Structure 1
Amino acid sequence: MERPARIPDGVRAHLERLGEQAVHELIDFLRIPSVSALSEHRDDVRRAAEWVARRMQRAGIEHVEVLPTPLHPVVVGDWLHAPAGRPTVLVYGHFDTQPADPVELWTRPPFEPWVEGDRIYARGASDDKGNMMVPILAAQAWLQGGQGLPVNVRFIFEGQEEVGSPHLAEFVAGRRDRLACDLVVSADGGQFSEERPSLTLGTRGLCAVQIDVKGPARDLHSGTYGGTVQNPIHALVELLASMRAPDGHVLVEGFYDRVEPLSAEQRRYMAMVPHDDGAYRQAIGVRELFGEPGYSTLERQGARPTLEINGIWGGFTGEGVKTVLPSEAHAKLTCRLVKDQDPVEIQRRIEAHVERHAPRGVEVRVRRMEGLARPYAMPVDHWGNRAASDVLQEVYGREPLLLWSGGTVPLYDIFLRELGTYTVTFAFGLPDEPVHAPDEFFRISSLRRGMVAWARLFERLAHAP
């Protein structure tokens, strides 16, 4: 490990003071229902952006702006007065949230935050409002409690991450000079546990399609017409079954063409991660686990591609029986993708598969959905990872585990392609904080631990690479 990160006494004292205020500020922030997926909350997403901008300005961050996109705004700012030769770090996070549904399963209203013990409950508490506040507070401690930040820092906080960041590629590409940096550090994510830190080295990509099957011009009486025309739901089920083998292997032609075998190093790191299949199975309420043979649960979860049916509908689904032969049927599919798989190419592969395997007697259409994201991976020995690893080891007293996430963060690949820089995930959410689900929460202890860790990271990066 490199030398420990040194935080001046003034910065440390300022962190203590800010820690007392931060809980109240986060509660205020969480009251804004900044749900990016719902048009009725468009003004609320804008209000959240303005809240972030004001908080950045109070921290001493300069050139703060709320910039529009065709969907939701982006907040940027910077502080670029570090000594010559110091790197420039771009800090990323998002202030939009998922919808709160099902609201009836929340203990209290999801946008009326409440505190119980060490926990702040509200939609967006962990993902990502609590986490994204932390680097702002750490920057303030350096700017107001020290002699300025030890590195140059730029900030980008977006309001559309929960809908796939559809306009961020264009936004970043059009502002390369404004966002130019040597490293991106993301405040969106978490740690392995309260006792064991982790670093995420890769995220899976994403693509989605909808399959529409059309049969007769209208719903038909199943007694009069059954056995004389193709049933669209039967046709859809047959088509979907052709896409995956019973053992989970995807049968779409060419799906695995760009998928490389897992390296021995990657498998070794994954094997070091503590995992209990029995506890995992029990936690999610299934009798047995399922997936491609030859891979561990963690390998399938983070480093293998998938094709999943997310929803299927058509015909009569109400109470009782209605003897109907439906006019149409529909399904939504998503694929999680791994290194070198291209989301547009996979959509084309699915279209070609559907064309080859479409059952007789119906019309089948594949619609490409928005929200594409490329997979992302960074080298284990990248200097940003080394710096973050050193700080996490200082803060937790244990070396971080190396993880590959099964989820998707579109911006990581966008930053790599448009800015030429890798992204280190440095956030403090924990696995039991039910993000995207009722009663989401963020720990006050994680908020305070994260402030110290970010303050140390700024100092550590001043002496890297």
Structure 2
Amino acid sequence: MSHLDAVLARLDADLDASLERLFHLLRIPSISTDPAYAADCRRAADWLVEDLAGMGFDASARATEGHPIVVAHDRSASGPSALFYGHYDVQPVDPLDLWEHDPFAPFIQTRPDGTRCIRARGAADDKGQVMTFVEACRAWKAVAGALPVPVSILIEGEEESGGKHLPPFMRAHADELRADIGLICDTGMWSAEVPAITTMLRGLCGEEIVITAADRDLHSGGYGSAAANPNHILARILADLHDDRGRVTIPHFYDGVHELPEAIRRQWADLGFDVEGFLGPIGLGVPAGEQERSALEMIWSRPTAEVNGMGGGYQGAGFKTVIPSKASAKVSFRLVFDQDPHEVRRHFRDFVRARIPADCKVDFIEHGSGRAQAFDTAAAPFEKARRALSAEWGVEAPFIGCGGSIPVTREFKEGLGMDVILAGFGLEDDRIHSPNEKYEMESFRKGARAWARILAALAA
């Protein structure tokens, strides 16, 4: 029996013990955004340090101005090195009355069809995911006496509250943390039966515009038509953002937007994405973006311009006939490939200014930005990891995109010069950030086995 076969057998035999370890971590209410739970965040970090040190890792909880960051190393093996990232902090549990059980009293729920899941805050986001990797390392060390490749582990305690202390920490300790490949588990599968590796994350640019016309709200009977109405101006600007085919009309907006590689396009087409099943549950049925693009392209590999909020004039109960002095809107852009968020912001502001009447003014409020991240799937570690996932689930694992952003990948890519394999085992219905969070038992069991296979594959 090879080491890998024995490691997989060890994971199966040790499942009950690994669940108890996970449950111990889940019982700690490490809510990072609430200062009342600062001691619990420290307790979670200390528990992880003790667990990792007990396996032979050189582990410590590093102090920051916020919650501690857990760093652990086992570099006794030779070969390509890996840096694994996760987070031990969790979201608040409010509203508590919507929970069907104590959020910090984990248990296994068995459904009528025999499937099982772990119920607790943090079960899927991210303690359960973190422990799949930790358990894979534990099994390798128990069976083979060592890991297949050098491994470092980085587990932060502020991901759910902004994570502002992690980037400077990573920059200050870049030489210590740098590895050949990054591993992140804070993502999901394509479906309950099909694992996936996320290789594309969209960037973000946020802008708020405030249009001012008159120096005060005006009586619409006395000034109607004669005075500029900022609500009208704002509505025209926002309507101009897209043409009738769903394409964004801001000049130079598509600079840096490339076409998908044909191999990825075919792979996405073969996923059999159900548009009606995606939009139907939210009461919609027709994709609203670029009409010549598939729905998966719209949410994974195409940029967006979305109006997130609007305000202007009287919005209270009843009716008030005024022409408002000000109107505002918050607009966000999801960015892809090589789009520069600073250039997008500049071109958007020029677009808005060109539509402001001479006797009115516009102010802009910046709300942050970040570039998209994409990883080269032709690089050897990605294909090795994809084959390892495929072997565990018995189906071909695809490379997929993600409509959102995972800020820490930018620190891996730009700060440490590393590509990142994003291979998590969460599902869409895990209710992360919501009451009654859960993590499928198969996600936990097969996730640990998958990481054991990926570590072996990276060493090959």
Q: 1:244 to 1:161 in 2, by over 3 A?
A: farther
One of 427, 430, 433 as aligned partner of 2:427: 430
Partner in structure 1 of residue 61 of structure 2? 65
CA distance in 2, matches of 1:239, 1:38: 40
Which sits farther off after the overlay, 54-63 or 289-298? 54-63
One of 67, 89, 93 as aligned partner of 1:96: 89
Q: 1:44 to 1:396 in 2, by over 3 A?
A: same
One of 140, 147, 154 as aligned partner of 1:142: 140
Letter of the 1:374 counterpart: R
Q: 1:55 to 1:322 in 2, by over 3 A?
A: farther
Partner in structure 1 of residue 194 of structure 2? 196
In the comparison of the two structures, how many residue pairs are matched? 455
CA distance in 1, matches of 2:102, 2:442: 23
CA distance in 2, matches of 1:45, 1:351: 42
CA distance in 1, matches of 2:102, 2:318: 34
Q: 1:329 to 1:92 in 2, by over 3 A?
A: same
One of 401, 405, 409 as aligned partner of 1:408: 405
Give 1:3-152 correspondences, 5 Å limit.
Answer: 6-7=3-4, 9=6, 11-12=7-8, 14-16=10-12, 18-36=14-32, 45-68=41-64, 72-82=67-77, 84=78, 86-98=79-91, 100=93, 105-108=98-101, 110=103, 113=106, 115-117=108-110, 118-152=116-150
Give 1:301-320 correspondences, 5 Å limit.
Answer: 301-320=299-318
CA distance in 2, matches of 1:107, 1:8: 39
Q: 1:25 to 1:230 in 2, by over 3 A?
A: farther
Letter of the 2:389 counterpart: L
CA distance in 1, matches of 2:42, 2:315: 39
Shift in Å, 1:385: 1.2
- 8 Å CA contact 2:245–2:290 kept in 1: the answer is yes
Which sits farther off after the overlay, 279-288 or 431-440? 431-440
- 8 Å CA contact 2:89–2:159 kept in 1: the answer is yes
Letter of the 1:77 counterpart: A
Shift in Å, 1:30: 3.7
SS in 2 for 1:293: coil
Letter of the 1:387 counterpart: K
Give 1:1-400 correspondences, 5 Å limit.
Answer: 6-7=3-4, 9=6, 11-12=7-8, 14-16=10-12, 18-36=14-32, 45-68=41-64, 72-82=67-77, 84=78, 86-98=79-91, 100=93, 105-108=98-101, 110=103, 113=106, 115-117=108-110, 118-162=116-160, 165-223=163-221, 226-359=224-357, 361-370=359-368, 372-400=369-397
SS in 1 for 2:455: helix
- 8 Å CA contact 2:3–2:143 kept in 1: the answer is no
Which sits farther off after the overlay, 393-402 or 117-126? 117-126
CA distance in 2, matches of 1:428, 1:215: 52
SS in 2 for 1:333: strand
CA distance in 1, matches of 2:137, 2:379: 24
CA distance in 2, matches of 1:324, 1:5: 78
1:24-57 CA deviation, whole Å, 9 max, x = no partner? 4434434555455566666655554444334433
- 8 Å CA contact 1:62–1:77 kept in 2: the answer is yes
Q: 1:397 to 1:217 in 2, by over 3 A?
A: same
User: Which structure 1 residue ranges, 5 or more long, are not aligned?
Assistant: none
Q: 1:39 to 1:241 in 2, by over 3 A?
A: farther
- 8 Å CA contact 1:6–1:456 kept in 2: the answer is no
Which sits farther off after the overlay, 348-357 or 128-137? 348-357
Partner in structure 2 of residue 454 of structure 1? 451
Q: 1:218 to 1:334 in 2, by over 3 A?
A: same
Shift in Å, 1:65: 2.6
Shift in Å, 1:406: 1.6
CA distance in 1, matches of 2:329, 2:346: 17
CA distance in 1, matches of 2:106, 2:260: 43
Which sits farther off after the overlay, 268-277 or 280-289? 280-289
Q: 1:303 to 1:171 in 2, by over 3 A?
A: same
CA distance in 2, matches of 1:270, 1:145: 38
Q: 1:54 to 1:358 in 2, by over 3 A?
A: farther
RMSD of the alignment, in Å? Answer: 2.9
Letter of the 1:96 counterpart: D
**TM-score (norm: length of structure 2):** 0.88
Q: 1:292 to 1:157 in 2, by over 3 A?
A: same
CA distance in 2, matches of 1:36, 1:246: 44
Shift in Å, 1:12: 4.5
CA distance in 2, matches of 1:315, 1:158: 44
- 8 Å CA contact 1:13–1:145 kept in 2: the answer is no
**TM-score (norm: length of structure 1):** 0.87
- 8 Å CA contact 2:207–2:330 kept in 1: the answer is yes
- 8 Å CA contact 2:90–2:160 kept in 1: the answer is yes
User: Which structure 2 residue ranges, 5 or more long, are not aligned?
Assistant: 111-115
- 8 Å CA contact 1:135–1:451 kept in 2: the answer is yes
CA distance in 1, matches of 2:149, 2:264: 32
SS in 1 for 2:139: helix
- 8 Å CA contact 2:276–2:285 kept in 1: the answer is no
